[in-house]
Every structure is written in structure tokens, then in C-alpha cells.
Amino acid sequence: MSWTGFVASMLVLGSNWVIHIFSDINVDQIVYTLANAEGTDTTNIYTFINNVLIPSILISILFYFILHFIYKINVISFPKWTSRFIQVMMVLLLLIASTTYGLKHFGWSKIVNYFSDSTFIRKNIVNAKDTTVSFSGEKRNLIYIFVESLETSYASKDKGGDQNFNLLQPLMDVDPNSINFSNTEKYGGQQQLPGMDYTAAGIIAQTSGLPLKFGGNYTQEDLRENASGKKINNMLPGIKSLGEILKENGYTNYFLMGSYPDFGGRASYLKQHGDYHITGWFDAIQNKWLPKGYAQNWGFEDAKLFQFAKNMLTDISKKDTPFNFSMLTADTHFPNGYTYGDEKKVTNMQYKNVVFHSSTMIAQFIQWCQQQPWYDNTTIVISGDHLTMDQRYINSLDKGYDRTVFNLFMNTGLIAETNKNRQFSNMDMFPTTLVALGAQIENDKQQLGLGVNLFSGEKTMIEKYGYQKTKDQIEQRSKFYIKNLIEGKK
């Protein structure tokens, strides 16, 4: 029965590992990530092996010898059946205790929600496929920067963050007229909801107005292209995204990232929903921008990402069509972030120094954009993909601080009278971005998916139903989502 010790150890040590590494994680995220493990960070795999798998194996071996010792010695001279009964009871109690411990630390409600069926999405969705989005006048270019783990807590306390030193000062200074949609009177941002709390989900939520949910219908092959790039599978056929709307209106979509595009189904989503021209780690090597075999961080570091972006934008801007140039940074990924060795040290925590350095690089890139002839007709959106998962950093925050995802809208030509004290999520970035480009959403709700245009006075899902109810409903399984959005049925 050594397997019992192994299972019990995995439950206890595994739940502790999940909480320590990822903090607040839900079942959808675990299942989706396991189905799309290609391209993931090996650091966490090694920590799992060292902190969960190997100790569980050793404990199971020890458990085997203990049971074997009890059975053989039989010190009190119990009858054979009594000794066996004691062993069975020990096994059952150990399994019950370890299962209870694991579920309690992971969260009973998450398990219950995963096997529930919510009608929330069905009742509230405004499908972008059924909504007209039109442009009048000259179409504005879009540069959309998804910044890994960018959250408002990095700002100084007087600006709305939780730091003594403002790690986001370079970003805040780069454009005095930029718009920050906030949950407070100061700088703030998006409340994090399930299905938009990791990179693939954050990108999909911000470009489709919907959470990313796993319905049990996806397989590894369904969610990624093969290495040749010729096989494109059917991913979320029931939705319509930012990329698709922009393509319909004459835009060309680009996406630059320093990592492996297939990870988490990102390439499949971007190809199928907007026909993006994707440039990732392998592409940079094939283009001879990097030497063969080059590998830093998740592929290549952000310093090179911004240089490649400048080169690409210089070429793209010469074309006659408006462009959507999206990019994804990686330096601020947990744990501890990526260091170059020459960063300015503004605190005694490496992760904070990485955040400040990343903020500086992004600001310098925007300053470069501001000097280009195409900038006057270009809107820049900066947004975190989700909250950070760096546990050392999280534990350094004030326990009462309300963490939100940071955003900035630059060069929109619009005035936002209701950008403060809003309660919203990543989903609301979708229609808001379109309006920032000069688009008109032709429905009274100013809504696409579950996202609401924040430039309007319309209430978001969180403002209508409250954060906790919205969170609980979106965390639940949705038969409507599976049938209509994943399977594409009516």
C-alpha cells in the first residue's frame, strides 16, 4: 500500500506547492495549462519535481516500510485480521485527512463551481458576431502592449499603489494626457476574474470580452498548430475578437512576443481570430535577428523585443493599411523576473527592480513611437495581462491592498469623464480599445461579449452584479459557453 503514502503526499505537498507558486488558481486554469504544456517555463517544473514529486516518492517508500514493520513485528500479538484492519484504517484515515487538507487549501468552492452550471454568460453576453462596429473618418493605428504581470500595486502609495518608491513612474510620466481607467480616485485598474488570470486567458479576455474556460472539448492538438504552422485547428469558433473586427475594417494584425507562440493555444487563437502575423522566439532565429540556438528567459528578453518592435514598425508603417501591432513582454514573469545585471537598483528586492527596469524600457519605447511620423494617428494601449504570481512580492504587500491590473490609454483624442471609481475587468478592455481607435459600437449597452466600453457611462458586469457574484458565476462551468463558444453551435 505504498501508493497510499504517495497519493497522500502528493495531495498535501501538491496543494502547498500550488498555493506557494501560483496563489489563487482555479480548476479551469490547471486543466487548460496541463492540456497546453508545450513552451512552459521549466523553472516551475523543476520546483514541482524537487518539492512535490521526489519527497512524495520518498515518503511512500518510508510509509511502505512502516506498514511492513507493523505487520511483521506484531508487538501486541493482535490476530492477523486485526493487524490488517489497523493497516487499512491507517490508510483510509491518511487518505481522508490528506484529501481534506488539499481541498481545504485549494478551495472547496472552486471544486463545486467547476461542476456547476451557470447561466450568467448566456443571459448577459452580447455576441460581437451580432453587433455592428463601424469606423468613420481615418482609422487610427493601434499598438497594444500586454505587459507581463503589470499591476497597480507597483505604483507608490500616493499614486494608488503600495510602494514607497514608484516603480511605474517612467510609465506615468511618458504621456501626461494618458487615460488610466481606475477602481479608485487614484491610479487603479481591472479587477481580476477567473478565466482571465493567466497570460493566454488575459489576452483572450482583453480581445474578445470573454473569459477563457476549459470545457473538456479541447485536446493538445486542438489548441496549437504543429511545428510546420500548416495545421490550424478550430479554437473558440463562437466568438468574434478585436483582431477579426479590425481585419474586417482594413487593418493588418501583427503580434510580437519573445516566447513560444504556441504555448497556451495563443498562436491558434491569434491565427484564427484576426489572421495575425505572429513573430516569436523561433521566428526571430529563423529571420536571423538572433544567432542559432539563442535562448534567454522565455526565448529572448524584452530589450530585444523592443528593438525588434522598432524595426518592424518602421517597415509596417510604410504600408497603406492601418495596423494593429500587439506585443507581449516577459521580463516581469515570476519568480523574481529577468535581470540584465546593469539595472538600477531602487529597492532590495530583485522583482521590484525588474519591474522598474521594465517600466523604463516601455517608456523609452513609447518615447521612440512619439517621435515617429505615424504617431499622431496611432493609439497606444498598455495593460497587464494579469496580476503577478510572484509570491515573495505578494507577501510584501499590505494585506488590505486591493490589487488590480494596470492600464493606460495614450493618444486617443478622447476625454474620459468616468474613468475613476469604476469596477471592471479585463473583458472591458475589448470594446474600450475599439472606441479608443474611433470605432462606434452600435448597440445601446455599448457592450461586446461581456465587456463594456469604459468611455461610456454604461455599467460593467461587476458594477451590475458586484465583484463576488460575478467572480462566482464566471468560475462556474457553463454549458452555453461549451456549446456556443467552444463547439460553435447555436
Q: Are residues 309 and 434 in the same domain?
A: yes
Amino acid at position 225, single letter: E
- Cα–Cα separations (whole angstroms), residue 131 to 245, 438, 482: 10, 16, 21
Domain membership of residue 233 (yes or no) is yes
Let me know: does 394 contact 166? Beta carbons within 8 Å: no
Domain membership of residue 159 (yes or no) is yes
Q: Which residue has the higher pLDDT, 181 or 477?
A: 181
Give the CATH number of the domain where residue 376 resides.
3.40.720.10
Q: Are residues 159 and 193 in the same domain?
A: yes
Q: Are residues 129 and 36 in the same domain?
A: no
Q: Count other C-beta atoms under 10 Å from residue 213's C-beta.
A: 26
Domain ranges, residue 98: 2-114
Given a cut of 80, whether residue 223 has pLDDT beyond it is no
Q: Are residues 227 and 335 in the same domain?
A: yes
Centroid of chain to Cα 172:
23
Residue 158 grid coordinates: 500616493
Let me know: does 142 contact 379? Beta carbons within 8 Å: yes
Tens digits of per-residue pLDDT, 116-157? Answer: 789 999 999 999 999 999 998 889 999 999 999 999 999 999
Residue 303 grid coordinates: 530589450
Cis geometry, peptide bond prior to residue 335 (ω within 30 degrees of 0): yes
What band does 38 get if pLDDT is binned at 50, 70 and 90? very low
Q: Which residue has the higher pLDDT, 96 or 103?
A: 96
Tens digits of per-residue pLDDT, 403-445? Answer: 999 999 999 989 887 899 999 999 999 999 999 999 999 999 9
Domain membership of residue 119 (yes or no) is no
Total domains present in the chain? 2
Domain membership of residue 308 (yes or no) is yes
Q: Are residues 109 and 131 in the same domain?
A: no
Domain membership of residue 253 (yes or no) is yes
Rounded CA-CA distance 237/487 in Å is 7
Q: Are residues 61 and 161 in the same domain?
A: no
Mean confidence (pLDDT) of the chain: 85
Q: Are residues 109 and 185 in the same domain?
A: no
Q: Are residues 242 and 319 in the same domain?
A: yes
Average pLDDT of the residues in 270-280 = 96
Q: Are residues 340 and 365 in the same domain?
A: yes
Last residue of a domain, one of 82, 114, 146: 114
Average pLDDT of the residues in 178-202 = 95
State residue 83's pLDDT score.
56
Last residue of a domain, one of 114, 138, 168: 114
Given a cut of 70, whether residue 103 has pLDDT beyond it is no
Last residue of a domain, one of 79, 114, 149: 114
pTM: 0.81
Given a cut of 80, whether residue 59 has pLDDT beyond it is no
Q: Are residues 9 and 54 in the same domain?
A: yes
Q: Are residues 6 and 142 in the same domain?
A: no
Rounded CA-CA distance 27/82 in Å is 41
Let me know: does 450 contact 125? Beta carbons within 8 Å: yes
3-class SS letters over the chain: CHHHHHHHHHHHHHHHHHHHHHCCCCHHHHHHHHHCCCCCCHHHHHHHHHHHHHHHHHHHHHHHHHHHHHHHHCCCCCCHHHHHHHHHHHHHHHHHHHHHHHHHHHCHHHHHHHCCCCCHHHHHCECHHHCCEEECCCCCEEEEEEECCCEHHHCEHHHCCCECCCCCHHHHHCCCCCECCCCCCCCCEECCCCCCCCHHHHHHHHHHCCCCCCCCCCCCCCCCCCCCCCCCCCCCCCCCCHHHHHHHCCCEEEEEECCCCCHHHHHHHHHHCCCCEEECHHHHHHCCCCCCCCCECCECCHHHHHHHHHHHHHHHCCCCCCEEEEEECCCCCCCCCCCCCCCCCCCCCHHHHHHHHHHHHHHHHHHHHHCCCCHHHEEEEEEECCCCCCHHHHHCCCCCCCCCEEEEEECCCCCCCCCCCCCCCHHHHHHHHHHHCCEEECCCCCEEECEECCCCCCCCHHHHHCHHHHHHHHHCCCHHHHHHHHCCCC
Length of the chain, in residues: 490
Q: Are residues 8 and 155 in the same domain?
A: no
Tens digits of per-residue pLDDT, 332-359? Answer: 998 899 999 999 999 999 999 999 999 9
CA within 13 Å, CB half, 137: 7
Domain membership of residue 436 (yes or no) is yes
Let me know: does 327 contact 272? Beta carbons within 8 Å: no
Given a cut of 50, whether residue 230 has pLDDT beyond it is no
